Structure formats: C-alpha cells, structure tokens
C-alpha cells in the first residue's frame, strides 16, 4: 500500500484559517522544495504538501515515465496517479488537512490532471501550469464543478499548440469548471502566472476550504 512514507516530501502547516491546502507538484528535475515559495506567494497561509516525484529520468525526478519528449507512458501515468492519490489520502489523515488544491508545473501539472481524471475525490481543484493531456483515453470521471485553472504559454516549445485547449475540453466534459488562459510566455513561469494563480485561488478558496 502506498502511503506518505513512500514519498520524500515537505509539509508546511497552514497559518490562515480557511485557506485551502495546496498539493505542490514540481516539474522534471525538481524536488519537494521547488514550489514551496510559489505556494506561499499564491495562497499565503495555506498548508503546503509537496512530494518529490518517484521516477528518475537521467537522475532527474519526475512523477511518471515518458517514452520521448511529449510522449507519455500512459500505463505508468495511471499507476503513478493512483499512487499519488493514495499518498494524498494518507498525508491528509496524518496532517489533518482537507482535500488540497493541486498546483502543478509541467510534469507536475500533467500528473495533477491525471489524478483529477483517475481519482477525482483526491483533489478539491487544480492550478495546471504548462500542462498537457496526460491520457489519450481517460476514464469517465465526474468532476462535478471542481474548479481548475490552466495557464499555457503561447511560445511554449514543449507543449504542442492546442494541447492545453484539448485538456481544458476534456476536464470540462467531465464536469470541471475550467478557466484556460494563454499567456505571452514560453514554458517557464512568469509573474503573470503568479498573479493569475493568486487571484484565482482567492476567488475559489471559499468553495474548497
């Protein structure tokens, strides 16, 4: 059984009552420390749960395997999404937090999208930064109005044009309340990502607290 001991992770307790806990999911080559500052910036006072991906690609942590740039091992995506869901459930019990809002960047955003589709109850919502469609044939999820923000980069050399729109449609078809914004940016995050994520969290935290 996968529990929180199966992941290396950081946990920062919340300091603001009612602030939604955040599940921070790093990109390729990152670790459990990468997004702590981002989490504190976009939702001050939120509890922060930040695991390290358990798959290594040339020594770089990831959350699932890929066959090539932009080509995912979908069997592994499904397996790792369920492992992450079990980790979240166990960590919630251990630390006494509500279902978190995922904040994922790149590979972390992709596993967050897969988790929404594979185990919807694990998350209260998600901020998906530079995400791609994680599964070509996802299960029939019921997201029942779960809030999701997708921020893509107009000049992103990694995420194919139109992919974020496909992901947005996939999640919306499953019932999520999706906002998709395309920014004048590449794959890396910008101040606009921080500002939009913070504003979005503020607008939805009463729904997910």
Nearest to 75, CA basis, from 57, 67, 141, 102: 67
Q: Of the residues 43, 46, 50, 106, which is catalytic?
A: 106
Residue 97 is encoded by which pair of tokens?
């937090």
Catalytic residue among 6, 31, 73, 187: 187
- Cβ atoms of 133 and 163 within 8 Å: the answer is yes
23 token code pair: 């599940």
Catalytic residue list contains 156: yes
Give yes or no: 173 in active site. Answer: no
Catalytic member of 26, 46, 50, 156: 156
How far out from the chain centre does Cα 184 lie?
21
Give bridge partners of residue 205 from the DSSP assignment: none
For residue 5, report the phi and psi dihedrals to the nearest 5 degrees. -70, -15
Closest CA to 127 of 77, 169, 180: 180
The size of the chain, in residues, is: 209
Q: Who contacts 156 (Cβ-Cβ below 8 Å, separation ≥6)?
A: 130, 185, 186, 187
Mark whether 58 is an active-site residue.
Answer: no
Name the residues annotated as catalytic. Answer: 106, 156, 187
């Amino acid at each position: 059984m996968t529990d929180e001991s199966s992941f290396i992770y950081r946990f920062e307790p919340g300091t603001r009552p009612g602030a939604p806990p955040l599940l921070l999911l790093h990109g390729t080559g990152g670790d459990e420390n990468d997004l702590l500052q981002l989490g504190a910036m976009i939702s001050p006072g939120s509890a922060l749960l930040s695991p390290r991906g358990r798959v290594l690609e040339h020594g770089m942590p990831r959350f699932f395997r890929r066959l090539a740039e932009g080509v995912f091992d979908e069997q592994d995506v499904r397996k790792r999404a369920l492992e992450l869901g079990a980790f979240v459930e166990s960590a919630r019990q251990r630390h006494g937090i509500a279902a978190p809002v995922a904040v994922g960047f790149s590979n972390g955003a992709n596993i967050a999208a897969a988790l929404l589709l594979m185990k919807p109850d694990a998350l209260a919502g998600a901020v998906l930064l530079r995400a791609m469609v994680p599964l070509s044939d996802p299960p029939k999820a019921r997201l029942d109005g779960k809030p999701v923000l997708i921020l893509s980069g107009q000049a992103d050399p990694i995420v194919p044009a139109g992919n974020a729109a496909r992901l947005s449609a996939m999640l919306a078809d499953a019932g999520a309340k999706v906002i998709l914004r395309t920014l004048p940016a590449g794959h890396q995050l910008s101040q606009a990502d921080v500002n939009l994520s913070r504003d979005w969290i503020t607008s939805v935290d009463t729904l997910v607290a």
